[in-house]
Structure 1
Amino acid sequence: MRVHFIAIGGSAMHNLALALHAKGYHVTGSDDTIFDPSKTRLEKKGLLPEAFGWFPEKISNSLDAVILGMHAKADNPELLKAKELDLTIYSYPEFLYQQAKHKTRVVIGGSHGKTTITSMILHVMHYHDREVDYMVGAQLEGFETMVRLTEDADFMVLEGDEYLSSPIDRRPKFHLYKPNIALLSGIAWDHINVFPTYENYVEQFDIFVNEITNGGAIVYNQEDPEVKKVVEGSPNPIKKYPYKTPAYQVENGTTLLQSPEGLMPVEIFGKHNLNNLEGARWICQLMGIDADDFYEAIASFSGASKRLEKLAESATSVAYKDFAHSPSKVMATTRAVKDQYPDRQLLACLELHTYSSLNPEFLYEYNSALDAADTAVVFYSPHAVEIKKLQPISEEQIAKAFQRDDLVIFTDPSKFKEYLFSQNMENKSLLLMSSGNYGGLDFEAVKSLF
């Protein structure tokens, strides 16, 4: 089968390209620019485009399918040529569904925790040599790619993102997977540029639950009021399995999980991560993994990439970086680090980087998000606000939104770096939260502080 990728360099897109190449497909692609690690990984497999840009001549009737990435625009020259030739055009999630329609589809949805829960499930399956197909939003230890597609696997585990499918398909990705088994971890307003009201955002999860196939099942976090309302109010005749945070305790910086065999040390920490673990346990059970086998495997799970990832540690201090950017994730992550090291001062830094976080109306959702930190720092780039064509925001607006009189605010990357490297990290925990990089912060250099 001959498949062409428009915008092959994206994190998800290049992984799908690699998976199809491994499956024996003839893969080509284009993009206007490609950065590492995508560039090196595509080059290694002979899939890197010879030149950057869009080339309509690459599109012909010899193609069986065109896969369109979100990075492309609706007027992309290659897309227009594909439409002109009436070729089959798939969004990323549409194509994944085609690959998985004869398998048992397990879809992990929610505003937060879905990458971690999907990663936990895959870790457990890998530990016990259970072959499953998958798509996950982070690079995992022991897994070569973020996407695996085979003919033989009975299950496909999919991280169910609620963001749009493609420039010409405005449906959320997770509406297209039609799960047999699903999980819903939490609902907290996000993607304000796409879902302008909270009600509109919640509606997407109503649709997700109602798309679960007849006779299917959903595992859901009963501690989240909105999740509970959506799932328990759904008329879909499916099995519904609620879960909640399991019993655990923290001793000397180690989290001990209550298991059937007693207290068991785990490498992850934070109430939200233990809640994620319990959701993963239920899904694994529905996939045929019993409790004893789950606990044996999960003990060695150290986390998904960029999710509470330990940067450095000394005898009296530690540094983590985390992908957290939405208010609920920021609050949960900050609280997790403070609870894990209660006797240390917590310096929590947050970069406002996404469309939602830089929107003046949405800013107020961050009220109390950094309250667990002893010192709270917010960094944002006025230039990024300009590029995203958003209304300007002031430092006063940010201070008011977070409701902290002592909030430290930076707009200059060099001044933020100077502040960070001037700190005495003795008896401190440092938490760096962002989906960006603070205007070019060298995370490797941060390690020198510890």
Structure 2
Amino acid sequence: MRVHFIAIGGAAMHNLAIALHKNGFEVSGSDDVLFEPSVSRLARHGILPKEAGWYPEKITKDLDAIILGMHARIDNPELLKAQQLGLKVYSYPEYVYEQSKDKLRVVIGGSHGKTTVTSMILHALQVAGKDFDYLVGAQLEGFDTMVKLTKDAPIMVIEGDEYLASPIDRRPKFHLYQANIGVISGIAWDHINVFPTFKSYVDQFQIFIETIQPGGTLIYSKADEVLENVVAADKSNIQKQPYTLPDYIIENGVTTILADGKRYELQVFGEHNLLNLQAARLVCEQLGISKADFYQYSTTFKGAARRLELVGKNDTATVFKDFAHSPSKLQATIHAVKMQFPDRKLIACIELHTFSSLNKDFLAEYAGTMDEADEAIVFIDKKTFEQKQMEPYAAEVVKQAFAKNDLTFFNDPKQLAAQLESTKLAYTNLLMMSSGNFGGIDLVDLKNKLL
């Protein structure tokens, strides 16, 4: 099979390219901009494009498939050539389905927790010695790539994003996988550039439930009222399994699950992660892993990259980084750290970086989300406004939106770094949250200066 990737450098795209290459496919690709780690990974497998840019001459009739990344535009010259030749053009979720349609497909959806739930399932399956394929949105410890796709594995575990599949396929990705087992961790409005109203966003989850195959299973959080209403209204021919928090205790900064007379000490914490764990447990029970075995396997789960990830600690302070950027993620992450370390001060810093989070009309969704932080900092790199061609706004707009007058606002990474470096971290935790990189601030270097 000969497969060509248009925009091969994307996180999911380059990992899928590597997975197909390992499977014996002849893989080629193009991209106008390539960054690490995709450059090194593609080069290691001999499939890195020789030059950046788009080359229509790479598109020939003997290609079996074209896979189009979200980064490409609809007027991409390679895409136009493929359409002219009448070649089949897939989005990557569409192609993943094609390669996994004979497997049992587990699809994890939700506005938050997708990567963590998927990671927990993969960890348990790996420890149990199960044969499985997967697609996950972060690099995980113990896994070489973010995508594995083989001929023989009977199970495919997929992190199901609700964002659009490709520039020419405007369906949410998780609609295309046709799950046998579907998970929804919760619903909180996001991607307002695509779903301009809350209802239009919620509708996508109703459609996802309808794509679960007849006789399949939906596993969903009973803690989410919006989701509960969506599930109650659904008439699909599927089983529905709700989940809630397990019994647990927190002692000396360690969370322990109590189940069937046994104790299971976890390396992760926070109510949101305990809910994620319950979703993963119900999936794994469907895949032949007992409740007791799952909890035992979970004691060695260290978490997904950038999900309450430990940057460094000493006896009286800890520095965490987290991917949290939406209102629900921000509030849940702050609450988790505050509950885990109730005797410590919490300094929470959020970088607003995505289109939705920067949108002035959406900003009010953040009201009250940082109330549990003892010191709240919001950072927007002024260059981000320029790159996204958005009108910048003043600190007062941010303070009003977050409904927190003592909030500190920065739009210059050097000023933010100076503020953080001057902080005394005695009996204090620092929580750095962003889907970006804080304007280039090195968090390891910051940790070394603080601890």
Q: Normalising TM by the smaller chain, what interval?
A: over 0.9
In structure 2, the partner of 1:134 is 134
- Corresponding letter in the other structure for 1:136: V
Residue 73 of structure 2 aligns with which residue? Answer: 73
Offset at residue 9 of structure 1 (A): 0.6
Aligned to 1:63: 63
Q: CA deviation at 1:285?
A: 0.5
Q: What SS is found at the alignment partner of 1:356?
A: helix
* Aligned amino acid, residue 257 of structure 1: I
Correspondences of 1:142-291 after superposition (within 5 Å): 142-291=142-291
Amino acid at match of 1:290: S
Q: 2:417 and 2:257 mapped to 1: Cα distance?
A: 37
Inter-partner Cα distance in structure 1 for 2:309 and 2:381 = 24
Q: What corresponds to 1:426 in structure 2?
A: 426
| SS of residue paired to 2:419 | helix
Amino acid of the residue matched to residue 331 of structure 2?
Answer: M
Aligned to 1:335: 335
Q: Give structure 2 stretches of 5+ with no counterpart.
A: none
SS in 2 for 1:3: strand
Q: TM-score under structure 2 normalisation? A: 0.99
- Asked whether the equivalents of residues 270 and 335 of structure 1 are also in contact (C-alpha less than 8 Å), the reply is yes
> What secondary structure does 1:439 align onto?
helix
Q: 1:231 Cα deviation (Å)?
A: 1.3
Q: Secondary structure at the match of 1:205?
A: helix
User: Match of 1:444, as an amino acid?
Assistant: V
- Aligned 8 A contact 1:359 1:391 in 2: no
How far apart are the structure 2 equivalents of 1:393 and 1:209?
A: 39
Give the AA of the match of 2:45: K
Distance 2:228 2:167 in 1: 32
Distance across 1 between alignment mates of 2:186 and 2:8:
31
Q: Distance in 2 between matches of 1:419 and 1:31?
A: 38
| Residue in 2 that maps onto 1:376 | 376
Q: Which amino acid aligns with 2:21?
A: H
Moved more, 437-446 or 186-195: 437-446
Corresponding residue for 1:319? 319
Q: What value does the CA root-mean-square deviation take over the aligned residues? A: 0.8
Task: Report the more deviating stretch, 228-237 or 431-440.
Answer: 228-237
Aligned length: 450
**Counterpart residue number, 1:295:** 295
Q: What letter is aligned with 1:446?
A: L
State how far apart, in whole Å, the 2-side matches of 1:60 and 1:23 are: 22
> Residues of 2 paired with 1:232 and 1:96: CA distance?
30
SS at match of 1:67: strand
Quick check: 2:264–2:296 contact (8 Å CA) kept in 1?
A: no
Query: How far off its partner does 1:404 sit?
Result: 0.8
Deviations 1:72-118 (A, max 9, x none): 11100100110011101000100000011111111000000010000
Q: CA deviation at 1:381?
A: 2.1
CA apart distance, 1:249? 1.3
- State the match for 1:96 in structure 2: 96
User: CA–CA distance in 2 between the matches of 1:237 and 1:64?
Assistant: 36
Identity percentage over the alignment?
Answer: 55
CA contact (8 A) 1:358 1:393 kept: no
Residue 209 of structure 1 aligns to a residue whose secondary structure is helix
Cα distance in 2 for residues equivalent to 1:273 and 1:43: 36
Aligned to 2:363: 363
What is the aligned partner in structure 1 of residue 21 from structure 2? 21
Distance in 2 separating the partners of 1:367 and 1:134: 37
State the 4+ residue runs in structure 1 displaced beyond 4 angstroms: none
- For 2:69 and 2:191, locate their aligned partners in 1 and report how far apart those are by CA, in whole Å: 18
Distance in structure 2 (CA, Å) of the matches to 1:207 and 1:234: 10
Partner of 2:51: 51
Alignment of 1:375-414 (within 5 A): 375-414=375-414
CA-to-aligned-CA distance 1:180-211 (integer Å, 9 cap, x gap): 11011000000011100000000000100011
**d(CA) in 2 for partners of 1:391, 1:366:** 19
The CA deviation string for residues 98-139 of structure 1, in whole angstroms up to 9 with x for no partner, is: 011111111000000010000000000000110111100011
Aligned to 1:122: 122
- d(CA) in 2 for partners of 1:65, 1:204: 28
In the aligned structure 1, how far is the partner of 2:383 from the partner of 2:363? 17
Q: Distance in 1 between matches of 2:197 and 2:386?
A: 23
Structure 1 residue identity aligned to 2:392: P
The runs of 5 or more residues in structure 1 that have no matched partner are none
Q: Contact conserved, 1:360 with 1:391, CA < 8 A, in 2?
A: no
Partner of 2:82: 82
Q: How far apart, in 1, do the equivalents of 2:373 and 2:13 lie?
A: 37
- Encode CA deviations 1:139-160: one digit per residue, 9 max, x unaligned: 1111111101111111101101
Q: Secondary structure at the match of 1:13?
A: helix
* 3-state SS of 1:350 partner: strand
Q: Is the 8 A contact 2:270 2:335 kept in 1?
A: yes
